[in-house]
Structure 1
Amino acid sequence: MLHRSAVEAVIRAGLAEDAPWGDLTSDLALPADAHATATVTSRESGVFAGEEVIRTGFAVADPALTVQLHVADGDVLEPGTVVATVSGPVRPLLSAERTVLNLVQRMSGIATTTARYVAEVEKTVAEVERANKLPTGTITRTRVCDTRKTTPGLRALEKHAVTCGGGHNHRFGLSDAVMLKDNHLAVLTAGGASLPHALRELRRKMPHTACMEVEVDRLDQIEDVLAGGADVVMLDNFSRADLVSGVAMIDGRAAVEASGGITLETIGDVAATGVDVISVGALTHSVRALDLGLDIAVD
């Protein structure tokens, strides 16, 4: 769940950046007692994310502003869908408009992109079930997850948006899990220690509630990683054939994650290999904002 405190911190920083000494245009051009009602509307199809941002954003700008939301996180938008109605003093309404819309448009873009990736995985699973004459739901759906490739300061909002699109969150940050990548492994084994031994020593130091994920980029690394006690094995930038081989080698001894350069065009093939998780940096690092607009009517 996206906590109001996290949203409020982002909103306050955004408002301070946009109007550090006030809104020169609104303060000079608009009467202090002017009131208005504004409608936030979708201008294209997509998936909505950001109800807490709209609610909190305008409240932070001025508690006198009232917000009525007409959609919820995860709802499908069409062109012309009314997202929210905001009423109250016009100066703070217009001063907060850009900050709030920028965030909600980005979050909705992330939710929309995630939903497309999830749909491709679901389509592949359904095709495999049909081809093998299996009842619907026989095959567990591969999870589509985000990464830490998020905008600094906006991670909580962006990861929440992924869940609105039907995806799942990977670790939130470095404090959440032990995740060893190639650079970690190079340092761990630099003194000549075997990889299984180094991982077992690390396991001894870990809290019992933490999990260990280890990245590999070759099939011949897998057995050593499993011998070291990895809970999750990340197959990084593997070919489809090697993903199939990797899943067979691991054979349920650890969860299997596929990562590296996965696109909307390739995620179906990756899901069909039987991996448990597919992590996609593109869900957050290269999305296009969904087009939303705010139109005002003077009371």
Structure 2
Amino acid sequence: MISEEQFKAELDLIIKNAIREDVGDGDHSSLACIPDTAVGRAKLLVKDKGIIAGIGFAKKVFEYVDGELEIETFIKDGEPVEFGDVAFHVSGSSQSILKAERLVLNGMQRMSAIATKTNYFVKLLEGTQTKILDTRKTTPGIRALEKWAVKIGGGENHRFALYDMVMLKDNHIDFAGGITKAIEKTQNYLEENSLDLKIIVEARNLEEVKTILKSDGIYRILLDNFSFEDTRKAVKLIGDRCLTESSGGINEETIRKYAECGVNFISSGALTHSIYNMDLSLKAV
């Protein structure tokens, strides 16, 4: 996983690029009709139900736009919200508040939707030992926000990107000439380049699970599109040799059944790629 410093750097890049994209050479709507001396206050109004996420992100955006803006929070990231709740007040330069408004809302609406869906999946897994994971199926350019939202919702992060963990999937295996060759080549590569990265290997059937188990040093086996019966068999075969992960088309109707097969993790791209933004607005008060 990436370090806190790397994660912070990703957030800084997201904010810097988003403001560049949205503001350009100036917020001419505000510059045209609001004096630069004007001050005001706005509230973050919740117009939906779910789990709020992005309060911390909003603070970072306001600080980037204008370090003199003051934020008074009433609800914390990860807490349940309902229609009519007010998450925070922001006060200071009216121009600065308006300049930051859209980025704050865009980020928080998506983050809250992801946190809400993740929390729903987490509750479906209560009483099992299985944890829900996100994937790399994220919106290009804002992965850090979406993975942050998964954590706020009670889920766990999978690898952040291609560089912080090795995952040998079906195409890697086929291009490399088979599972064993792919694993051997990977382990040699990591040693030659002094890289300390965990290795996950995808299995498409029970025979591939058996083949993977012939190699040492595997962190986790990903059981891709396995049936419930084969998942139970795979978990028994693997034992405590390494961790297990189920993936592939798992939804709210099947997630509990896969967890009851005994896997350590279930990964779902739907946490980030199939959500509807929470309705939030920033209103002057």
Q: Which amino acid aligns with 1:210?
A: L
The whole-number CA distance in structure 2 between the counterparts of 1:228 and 1:199 is: 8
- Which runs of 5 or more residues in structure 2 are unaligned? none
Tell me if the contact between 2:113 and 2:277 (Cα under 8 Å) persists in the aligned partners: yes
Shift of 1:33: 1.8
Q: Deviations over 1:87-146 (max 9, x none)?
A: 011112112111111001111111111000010011xx3xxxxxxxxxxxxx5x201000
Q: Which amino acid aligns with 2:130?
A: T
Structure 2 residue aligned with 1:214: 201
Structure 1 residue aligned with 2:97: 93
Match of 2:234 among 246, 268, 271: 246
Structure 2 residue aligned with 1:265: 253
Tell me if the contact between 1:195 and 1:228 (Cα under 8 Å) persists in the aligned partners: no
3-state secondary structure, aligned to 1:206: helix
3-state secondary structure, aligned to 1:167: coil
Q: Does 1:20 align with 2:24?
A: yes
Match of 2:167 among 170, 173, 179: 179
Q: Does 1:107 align with 2:114?
A: no
1:45-60 maps to which residues of 2 (within 5 A)? 45-60=49-64
3-state secondary structure, aligned to 1:44: coil
Query: What's the TM-score once normalised by structure 1's chain length?
Result: 0.87
The whole-number CA distance in structure 2 between the counterparts of 1:287 and 1:261 is: 15
Q: Which amino acid aligns with 1:202?
A: T
Shift of 1:168: 0.3
Sort the Cα spacing of 1:206 and 1:7 in 2 relative to 1 into closer, same or farther, 3 A: closer
1:100-249 maps to which residues of 2 (within 5 A)? 100-122=104-126, 125=127, 141-189=129-177, 195-196=179-180, 198-207=182-191, 209-229=196-216, 230-249=218-237
Structure 2 residue aligned with 1:34: 38
Match of 2:282 among 277, 280, 294: 294
Tell me if the contact between 1:4 and 1:52 (Cα under 8 Å) persists in the aligned partners: no
3-state secondary structure, aligned to 1:227: coil
3-state secondary structure, aligned to 2:213: helix
Determine which structure has more spread, i.e. the larger CA radius of gyration.
1
Q: Which amino acid aligns with 1:38?
A: A
The whole-number CA distance in structure 1 between the counterparts of 2:130 and 2:196 is: 24
The whole-number CA distance in structure 2 between the counterparts of 1:205 and 1:31 is: 60
3-state secondary structure, aligned to 2:15: helix
